[in-house]
Structure 1
Amino acid sequence: MVLPLEHLAVLDLYLWMEQELAVSAATNVHQSTVSRQIRSALKLFALKLSRGSEHLELAGDASLLLAERFVHQQARLRGLAPLRVDATYSSGPWLLASPPEGWVLGKFDLPGMARPLALLRDRVIDAWVGSYQPDLPGPDDPEWWVLDLLREPVQLLAAPDHPLAHVRDLSQGDLEPFPSLALPPGWFPRTEAILKQQGLWSDEVRIKRYDPDRWEGRCADGVTLTYGQSLTEALQPGTVRLDWDLGLISGEAMVVRRDLLDQPAIQQLVEHLQQQAQQVAARFDDVELVI
């Protein structure tokens, strides 16, 4: 039995987006058809879907599926089906608001790095734009190729009515009485270490998908501290910068499998992202274009 191209596409889109309605919208296929095609693909590969601790997971021997994904990714790279790109909530709206032709977008809500990198590794998606410069793979990583696009300082943020909002020359002792948002341990080890040295990163937030109400929105209590930079502040206004230097530089970067680097479609995406990054850098005084 041969698996139709669109059936595996629907299964992988579902693993990526985790909502049948989102897959239906992305493929312009009715939701009942989406459900049927997912079942068909699972049956062919003798796999089952399970809800893991955070995301949908496949149960069973996926070796045949992985081999099939390689073939299907090559077909996408030849233009036989749309390529797939996702980004963080801060990168996507700025760099992929108008994606290049032939690419389908994710929802810009995958938190952390582990999930996007797993989707790239398994060839479910073809490219990802991340915002976690200190923690992204390095230039000598054998698996990943990372293209730096933008660089910007991370700011300590709080609600406008926070007790420290207009205080100058803050000390670490001023910050310590207040909770500060944190993601689960190990998600961003370098960033986590830098912030913990300053008494920050204390109030863990467990999120499966980015939700502004569960991140920036937590500052509405008037005491909780968070972090951001010019791109996130413009997307989610409502916080102010505190007079504290985190000593933390982040930025936006594209990540792809190293074995895809020379593909023409990937290079076209590179050109698009670099053009968009140039426009973004021109809008903000503290956002630097990486050449």
Structure 2
Amino acid sequence: MVGLEELAMLDHVLWFRSGEAAAQRLHCAQSTVSRRNTETLRCFGLEMLRENGEWELEGDQTLLRMERRVHQMHRFLSDEPLCRLEGSPWGGPVLADPMPAGWVGGVWNHVGMERPLQLLRERVIDAWVGSYQPDMPLSDSEITVIDLCRTPVHLVANPGHPLASRQRLAQEDLDPFPSLSLPSGMFPKTEAILRSHGLWTTPARMARYKPELWEGQTADQVTLSYASCLALEVMEGLQVLPYDLGLMSGESLVVRSDLLPQPKVLALLSSLRRRVSIKAKELPEIVLPH
């Protein structure tokens, strides 16, 4: 019902959160994106509303879902790099730079899993590198979660933190200090483990990941945070503290199950596995799947 460019403009606004960012990615004027999105929404009988910093569509999306399926297949069959890859704030930059052949990258700044999974299920994006084990959903009839590696999660702090010079820590040593948290329920299993140590006490209010609102808060030299060895490649300037959280996380590639046989998905998976394997030689605590 609509052309490739028209639907790409709508999807990029949903994905990148703004017409300006969509226009920059698609190399056109913002006014062009706005005008064509108005026409596309009218064609499908939809409205676009802003909710919690994200654009959402209102109305019957049956025809849009059918159209997206066709356009997604075009991306996979095209010789151009059109397939859309999103990633966590560290999974994306660490594992998808440079961008694997045939793919284009996303914003790398979603907080939590809900929005990337929504974009994936609705075929706005084609794959997602998520970093949120043990809270990553299980594979189902619609999505497949492929583990790339597992990594311990460390308790970290600014090098000037009073605990940074200690050789051993007990839970009571942590109690006087604030520790970063996200909204309750966003990562229930991870939250429960951290709360069992008396952590996860100080909310970081951010609709999207920004360094100054997360690891930047540790610059006060009292706030505690958490990071895997891969996250520490993005969250620079943090020191691992000698305290065992008993928490394992990792990286996973998440794709729609019906796309698994696509050559570009298989090539992406091969590329990510190769990059993780190289990282594991540098960082021995990375555990590769058997």
- TM-score band by shorter chain is over 0.9
Change (3 A) 1:216 1:130: same
Alignment of 1:74-153 (within 5 A): 74-79=73-78, 82-138=82-138, 141-153=140-152
Change (3 A) 1:74 1:116: same
Give yes or no for contact 2:88–2:129 (8 Å, CA) kept in 1. yes
Q: Which amino acid aligns with 2:200?
A: W
CA distance in 2, matches of 1:205, 1:106: 23
State the match for 1:247 in structure 2. Answer: 246
Specify the SS of the correspondent of 1:29.
Answer: coil
State the match for 1:189 in structure 2. Answer: 188
CA distance in 2, matches of 1:29, 1:102: 21
Give yes or no for contact 1:47–1:61 (8 Å, CA) kept in 2. yes
CA distance in 1, matches of 2:166, 2:279: 30
CA distance in 2, matches of 1:89, 1:20: 22
Specify the SS of the correspondent of 1:85.
Answer: strand
CA distance in 2, matches of 1:241, 1:80: 44
Post-superposition CA distance 1:168-225 (Å, at most 9, x none)? 3211111112111111111111101111111111112232211000000010111111
Specify the SS of the correspondent of 1:244.
Answer: coil
Taking only the aligned residue pairs, the percentage that are identical comes to: 46
Instruction: Quote the offset at 1:80 in angstroms.
Output: 6.8
Q: Which amino acid aligns with 1:248?
A: L
Alignment of 1:1-291 (within 5 A): 2-79=1-78, 82-138=82-138, 141-291=140-290
Q: Which amino acid aligns with 2:213?
A: R
Q: Which amino acid aligns with 2:115?
A: R
CA distance in 2, matches of 1:53, 1:137: 22
Instruction: Quote the offset at 1:137 in angstroms.
Output: 2.1
Give yes or no for contact 2:52–2:207 (8 Å, CA) kept in 1. no
Q: Which amino acid aligns with 1:277?
A: V
Specify the SS of the correspondent of 1:271.
Answer: helix
Q: Which runs of 5+ in 1 are unaligned?
A: none
Give yes or no for contact 1:95–1:276 (8 Å, CA) kept in 2. yes
Runs of at least 4 residues off by over 4 Å: none
Worse-matched range after superposition: 185-194 or 49-58: 49-58
CA distance in 2, matches of 1:258, 1:4: 26
TM-score between both structures, scaled by the size of structure 1: 0.94
CA distance in 1, matches of 2:52, 2:22: 22
Post-superposition CA distance 1:83-107 (Å, at most 9, x none)? 1111011111121112223211101
Worse-matched range after superposition: 80-89 or 144-153: 80-89
CA distance in 2, matches of 1:249, 1:289: 13
Instruction: Quote the offset at 1:24 in angstroms.
Output: 1.9
Worse-matched range after superposition: 163-172 or 237-246: 163-172
Specify the SS of the correspondent of 1:136.
Answer: coil
Give yes or no for contact 2:94–2:233 (8 Å, CA) kept in 1. no
Q: Which runs of 5+ in 2 are unaligned?
A: none
Give yes or no for contact 2:48–2:55 (8 Å, CA) kept in 1. yes
Specify the SS of the correspondent of 1:133.
Answer: coil
Post-superposition CA distance 1:140-176 (Å, at most 9, x none)? x333211111221110011111111112321111111
Q: Which amino acid aligns with 2:78?
A: G
CA distance in 1, matches of 2:103, 2:39: 25
Give yes or no for contact 2:157–2:224 (8 Å, CA) kept in 1. yes
Give yes or no for contact 1:216–1:236 (8 Å, CA) kept in 2. yes
Q: Which amino acid aligns with 1:120?
A: L
Worse-matched range after superposition: 78-87 or 174-183: 78-87
Instruction: Quote the offset at 1:59 in angstroms.
Output: 1.8
Q: Which amino acid aligns with 2:112?
A: G
